A and B are shown apart, each in its own frame.
Chain A
Amino acid sequence: MNLLRKNANMIRELAWSDFKLKYYGSFLGLLWSFLRPVFMLGILYLVFYSFFKVNVEHYVWFLLIGIVFWNFFSDATKDGMQNIVSKAHILKNINISPLIIVISSLLQSFLTFMITLIVLFLILFAFGFYPTASFFLFWFYVALTTILVLGTLLVTIPLSARFKDFGHLWDIFLQMLFWMTPIVYSESLVPASYIKWYLLNPLSRVIMDARTTILYHAFPDPKQIFITLGIVSLILLLGCVIFKRFGKTLTEEL
């Protein structure tokens, strides 16, 4: 915490310059970050709605929310690993903590996520989904996802610095996770015998409940909220332990 306060300026500058660079030059820069989910939405909608005939209420919005959360998780974790490699020269030559790179990378991904969410809401409102009391809880899930990403980065970044092929393993993992998360289908399709394991995936829990709060205007079960909170905290704790153990020698591994 102390580290964050002392280096706030550094984190802000890093995140902001990365953000600028990512969408630099082209007027369409930021638009690209919307086009990808839109196309993803288009193809998944076609396949699952028209071909597979999934039976879900408000399927477009159901899908869109899933995609937006998923993209944040998958892009932020991939960008984080790339970021630590592309900033290796900085870490090797200036005495800054690798944690600063992790946080600034998260901040930059978060910024994109927020802009996407704002656009998402503008669209939803335009189609008549007005925020109700449960809307506030939605932001709780946004925060929870961000903490989940942080915890994940704290685990994956030291591993990706240590093992050069970790990026490939992570890609495979993400691909499997995508289908193990209720993004294109509803969790009600998961057989009862699997559901206990299925619901250990914190991303599933967050996406399901985020949908509940804004599409169905309902409050998720408080007990489930606590379980989600518990799982996310555990991942964060694991991240802290791993990063504490391997963060120090991370620079030398790069």
Chain B
Amino acid sequence: MIETSHISKRYIIPHEKKMTAVETAIGYLKHTVTYEPFFALQDITFRVESGEAVGVMGKNGSGKTTLLKILSGIISPSEGTYSLKGSVAPFFSLGVGFHHELTARENIYLYGALLGIPRERITEREKTIFAFAGVERFRDTKLKHFSSGMVSRLAFALMIQTDSDIFLLDELFSTGDKDFVPQSLSVLEAYKNKGKTIVLASHDLDLLNRHCSRSMLLHEGRLIDFGKTEEVIQHYIKL
């Protein structure tokens, strides 16, 4: 279950932001430390039940990523509160912890550790992970020799080994070949059936329609619609 109450995220817009200590010091001296707040998210309140798969749509810059980052605890909201029942697995970009100079095998241990997967479990499931990613022959190859699709597959194969209850996915399926997306989605379907909660931000309306019963629509940082995916899609198209 995910519940948010009046969440807002305020940023100081970049051209006003003092990036260096010297600038800040000068700014203080000249009394020019003015800034204009910018709301990436404003007054977001909703509730997602356990075992639900919910879509998030909205134009670029509407706040989708910001919302998922807040829910995953990577950034904190400026105002408002939220609560989650269960552990969260945030999937923002496939393979962030990977290092190109390390081999595939070394990488799954490193990345696994970052995702909080115990070492023993990775050892146990090493075969499955490589098989799912379809890179069994390259387990001792350095990652820099992998194609970006292969890297995504490996990352995804590893990510789904986490035991989390809530999966937050942000536009994950842009890389990978024709088999990768359906293969990944079938895994998600299986998770959904196991009662896991999934929040999926995507520009692929077709994908949202197939996998999410309900969706929310963000527009300029505000939640302007939350209902049956089909209807929300119609709303989104008319924007």
Contact = CB atoms under 8 A, between A and B. Distances in A.
Interface of A: 7, 9-10, 12-14, 17, 20-21, 24-25, 89-96, 159, 163-166, 169, 248-249, 251-252
B97 A163 contact: no
25 contacts: A7-B116, A9-B113, A9-B119, A10-B114, A10-B116, A13-B110, A13-B113, A17-B106, A90-B114, A91-B74, A92-B92, A92-B96, A93-B90, A93-B96, A94-B74, A94-B114, A94-B115, A95-B72, A95-B88, A95-B90, A159-B21, A163-B21, A165-B21, A248-B76, A249-B76
A92 B92 CA distance: 9
Contacts of B119: 9
Interface string B47-72: 00000000000000000000001001
B108 to A, nearest CB: 11
A164 B115 contact: no
A20 B102 CA distance: 9
B93 interface: yes
A66 to B, nearest CB: 30
Contacts of B113: 9-10, 12-14
A169 B97 CA distance: 30
Given A93-B74, A93-B96, A94-B90, A165 B22 contact: yes
Contacts of A9: 113, 118-119
B20 A163 contact: yes
A9 B116 CA distance: 8
B19 interface: yes
B152 to A, nearest CB: 14
Given A164-B19, A169-B21, 16 more contacts: A10-B114, A12-B113, A13-B112, A17-B99, A17-B102, A17-B110, A20-B102, A92-B96, A93-B93, A94-B90, A94-B92, A95-B74, A163-B20, A163-B21, A166-B21, A248-B76
Interface residues of B, number: 30
Contacts of A14: 110, 113-114
Contacts of B118: 9
Contacts of B224: none
Contacts of A169: 21
Nearest to B170: A93
Contacts of B101: 21, 24-25
A83 to B, nearest CB: 13
A252 B96 contact: no
Given A13-B113, A17-B106, A165 B96 contact: no
B233 to A, nearest CB: 28
A7 B119 CA distance: 12
B24 interface: yes
Contacts of A24: 101
Contacts of B102: 17, 20-21
Nearest to A6: B116
Contacts of B69: 92
A25 B144 CA distance: 14
B75 interface: yes
A94 B20 contact: no
Contacts of B21: 159, 163, 165-166, 169
B102 to A, nearest CB: 6
For the complex of A and B, 4 pairs with smallest distance between CB atoms: A13-B113, A163-B21, A165-B20, A93-B92
A89 B74 CA distance: 11
Residue of B88, B102, B118 with most partner-chain A CB within 10 A: B102
A92 B68 CA distance: 12
Contacts of A10: 113-114, 116
Contacts of A249: 76
Interface string B70-113: 00111110000000000010101100110101100010011011
Most buried by B among A10, A13, A89, A95: A95
Contacts of A21: 99, 101-102
A171 to B, nearest CB: 13
A94 B112 CA distance: 11
A120 to B, nearest CB: 30
Contacts of B109: 13
Interface in B15-53: 19-22, 24
Contact of B74 (A7, A92, A165, A166): A92
